[in-house]
């Protein structure tokens, strides 16, 4: 019997990428919450499978044979892009075997991991969280402008790409699953009327039942880190590296 994959998870865009993929691929999984606002990402049990101390991560008990330990098939993987590739390879779904088609998927997957995610994440940070951390708003004005403008540029890249196609790399793929959770215009200062092709793709992907299910995983766990109060302040200090637990 196939054992469920452990998904070490918190409901964030990077976490949603993997929960969406698992839902789309029909892979049995169980969620292991990693409360990043409480510092659980620093726990030895989590860092043993995610050395960078960032979620998500997975543990597949039914992974490939381990040449160093023939009795074990357990495999731990961190980094969302690597997890998506692994799941695509494991299931043969949403990740083409043809070299040219796979290269199309890979380049958009890596573009998201190296560009859209980090830049949109910084935009979200400076627009949503920094005002609760830094009282002098003049100190964050440059960060807001810099990252909002860069996110605008990246939205434009996607909009142009989607002008003549339904999905980023041919058929719907892990590249779409990676990028979709990071289009958060209400938090990133973007007007979607400037990006009609991106807006149509956002709605098209978001209408998929598995995307809805993956996006909803753990939605009751998420807290408002932009809120006031000691609990939110403590969580921000942990999450944004001001102190470890």
Greatest mean pLDDT among 42-51, 219-228, 234-243 lies in 42-51
In a domain, 243, yes or no: no
Does residue 224 register a pLDDT over 90?
no
In a domain, 232, yes or no: no
Q: What is the pTM of this model?
A: 0.90
User: What is the rounded CA–CA span in Å between residue 63 and residue 59?
Assistant: 9
My answer on whether 87 and 129 are in the same domain is no
Pairing of strands 29-33, 5-9: parallel
Per-residue pLDDT tens over the stretch 33-51: 999 888 999 999 999 999 9
Mean pLDDT, to the nearest integer, of 164-193? 97
What pLDDT, on a 0 to 100 scale, did the predictor assign at position 72? Answer: 80
User: What is the rounded CA–CA span in Å between residue 184 and residue 153?
Assistant: 14
Per-residue pLDDT tens over the stretch 200-219: 999 999 999 999 999 999 98
What pLDDT, on a 0 to 100 scale, did the predictor assign at position 219? Answer: 87
What pLDDT, on a 0 to 100 scale, did the predictor assign at position 73? Answer: 87
**Full domain range(s) for residue 110:** 99-207
List the alpha helices (DSSP H) in 138-179. 141-161, 174-179
CB 83 within 8 A of CB 94: no
My answer on whether 103 and 189 are in the same domain is yes
What pLDDT, on a 0 to 100 scale, did the predictor assign at position 138? Answer: 81
- Crossing angle of the two packed helices 141-161 and 196-206, in degrees rounded to 10: 80
Does residue 242 register a pLDDT over 50?
no
Domain containing residue 17: CATH number: 3.40.30.10
Angle at 34 between CA 31 and CA 36, to 5 degrees: 150
């Amino acid at each position: 019997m196939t054992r469920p994959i452990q998904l070490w998870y918190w409901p964030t865009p990077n976490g949603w990428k993997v929960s969406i993929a698992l839902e789309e691929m029909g892979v049995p999984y169980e969620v292991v919450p990693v409360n990043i606002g409480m510092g659980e990402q620093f726990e030895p049990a989590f860092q043993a499978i995610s050395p960078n101390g960032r979620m998500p991560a997975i543990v597949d008990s039914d992974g490939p044979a381990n040449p160093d330990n023939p009795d074990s098939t357990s495999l731990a993987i961190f980094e969302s892009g690597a997890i998506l590739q692994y799941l695509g390879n494991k299931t043969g779904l949403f990740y083409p075997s043809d070299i040219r088609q796979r290269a199309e998927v890979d380049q958009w997957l890596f573009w998201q991991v190296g560009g859209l995610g980090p830049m949109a994440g910084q935009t979200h940070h400076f627009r949503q969280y920094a005002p609760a951390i830094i009282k002098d708003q003049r100190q964050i004005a440059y960060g807001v402008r810099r990252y909002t403008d860069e996110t605008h540029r990246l939205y434009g890249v996607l909009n142009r790409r989607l002008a003549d196609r339904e999905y980023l790399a041919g058929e719907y793929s892990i590249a779409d699953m990676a990028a979709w959770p990071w289009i958060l215009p209400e938090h990133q200062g973007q007007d979607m009327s400037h990006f009609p092709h991106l807006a149509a793709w956002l709605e098209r992907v978001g209408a998929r039942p598995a995307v809805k299910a993956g996006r909803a995983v753990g939605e009751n766990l998420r807290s408002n880190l932009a809120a006031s109060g000691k609990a939110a302040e403590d969580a921000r200090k942990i999450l944004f590296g001001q102190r470890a637990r």
